[in-house]
Structure 1
Amino acid sequence: MRKTPLILGGMLAATLSLPVLAGEHQAKAEPWSPATLMQALQSMPKGDAARGQKLHEGQFCASCHGTKGESTTANWPSLVGQRAEYTYKMLLDYKSHRRAEDERGQLMTHVAQFLSEQDMADLAAFYAGQALPAMHGGKDNAVAEKLVRQGDPTRLVTPCAACHGLQGQGGVNETPALAGMTPEYFERTMKLYRDGQRHNDSMQAMRAFAKPLTDAEISALARYYASPASH
């Protein structure tokens, strides 16, 4: 059963007020290099989706990310159908303090301290084992359609589909799926990359992509990848 906002708010406040955990005294880890990231992904344990579901329920993941990872709020990303490598990397980033860009990210750094690498792989397998939501696409959205399929060579903007696929299904390794992402979360994420507040993208690829984009273009992309139900 989903937590009520009052209960959830109290739980999150309690989590944020926890004393610093063992391991959180460590300095922020060095940014990923292609070699260190590849090694981490190659070392990812084999995930157990059934155990991941139990963790999802027992660790209160469902309170923020939805019963099966299908977030419907502006605050948290949808995880259902997400690539396992991406989810695993994000949890590693939170645990190692590579990612803590705002209060929500700081909450996740606390949560990740309780997770082993096997736990992370199991959660990733649970989310990846479900169908990726449909996305709205380019219907009446020529601005996003062009960015997704062609990019903008005049500003050195790479087509989104080159990395994330024509259907927003994600690419290789840690490249995430975008289909079905809540538009508010998508916009917040892109602006954090564009404004230099989020730094855990490998090789600074997303920061370079987002930097030339306007608010209107980011909003158009958010609508493009959002599920039809969001419109």
Structure 2
Amino acid sequence: MKKTLIMALAVMTFGSSAVWAADVEIKGDAAAGKTKSATCAACHGADGNSTNPEWPKLAGQNAQYLFKQLMDFKAQKRVNASMAPMVAPLNPQDMADLAAYFSTQKAAPGKADQTKAQLGSLVFKGGNTATGVAACASCHSPTGLGNPAANFPALSGQHVAYTKIQLQAFRQGARNNDAGKMMQNVANKMSDAEMDAVAEYISGLQQ
């Protein structure tokens, strides 16, 4: 049971999702989440497809991952000046509903710079054995759809700028809400060129 809670399995069924907050299962309702998402739309778009490349696309992201990020923002485990006031009035049910809604939306396709995507493909699929960079695909899947059962997020189609910002934040320790410092350890070994190339490749992946 404890292992199940730690893995935080997300179950998507008919527009609803089950997420864990401590030892309590909370079922998110996508319809309720759509109603509650009005304040999110200004930055992330009504359907979770943001137009500002520095703000993440939420559409198609797995519900448990979205729920965790909202919880972390509220607990200040993940710090962002723009998100802090947005999550302040939210309770766990609100977060579960929002996560359920955005997870059911279709992510708009991204576009990769093919001059960089070739290197990005190599790092994403195989890592860099010379420097110890792990392959992104090992956790986020070869297609970038993530691993909901392990709470690894979907990456495919994400904005290039946002992905680079997050990789740099992990490398600098400014973002440290990753389990077991997994992303921090990967980002610490990546070069700027690898981050740039991987971000381009990810943007071109389709959900």
TM bucket (normalised to shorter chain) is: 0.7 to 0.9
Q: Cα deviation per residue 1:188-214 (whole Å; 9 max; x = unaligned)?
A: 111011112111111100000111111
Asked if the contact 2:48–2:107 (Cα under 8 Å) also holds between the matched residues in 1, the reply is no
Residue in structure 1 matching 2:191, options 179, 202, 214:
214
Within the alignment, does 1:54 sit opposite 2:29 as a pair? no
Number of corresponding residues: 190
SS at match of 1:47: strand
Shift, 1:40, TM fit: 3.5
**Mapping of 1:118-197 within 5 angstroms?**
118-134=93-109, 136=111, 139-140=114-115, 141-173=117-149, 174-197=151-174
Distance change (3 Å), C-alpha of 1:123 and 1:201:
same
Amino acid at match of 2:137: A
Please identify, of 137-146 and 150-159, the stretch whose mean Cα deviation from structure 2 is larger.
Answer: 137-146
Distance 1:69 1:117 in 2: 19
Asked if the contact 1:44–1:117 (Cα under 8 Å) also holds between the matched residues in 2, the reply is no
Distance 1:67 1:112 in 2: 17
Q: Percent identity?
A: 34
Distance 1:138 1:183 in 2: 10
SS at match of 1:180: coil
TM-score, structure 2 normalization: 0.83
Structure 2 spans left out of the alignment, 5+ residues: 9-19
Distance 1:135 1:145 in 2: 15
Tell me the residue number matched to 1:111: 86
Distance 2:127 2:34 in 1: 38
Amino acid at match of 2:141: G
Distance change (3 Å), C-alpha of 1:216 and 1:44:
farther
Tell me the residue number matched to 1:71: 50
Please identify, of 178-187 and 147-156, the stretch whose mean Cα deviation from structure 2 is larger.
Answer: 147-156
SS at match of 2:51: coil
**Mapping of 1:1-16 within 5 angstroms?**
none
Within the alignment, does 1:203 sit opposite 2:144 as a pair? no
Q: Cα deviation per residue 1:91-147 (whole Å; 9 max; x = unaligned)?
A: 0001111010xxxx1221221121110110100000111224445579552211111
Structure with higher strand content: 2
Structure 1 spans left out of the alignment, 5+ residues: 1-33
Tell me the residue number matched to 1:43: 24
Shift, 1:154, TM fit: 2.3
Q: Cα deviation per residue 1:49-85 (whole Å; 9 max; x = unaligned)?
A: 011001111xx10000012110121331100001101
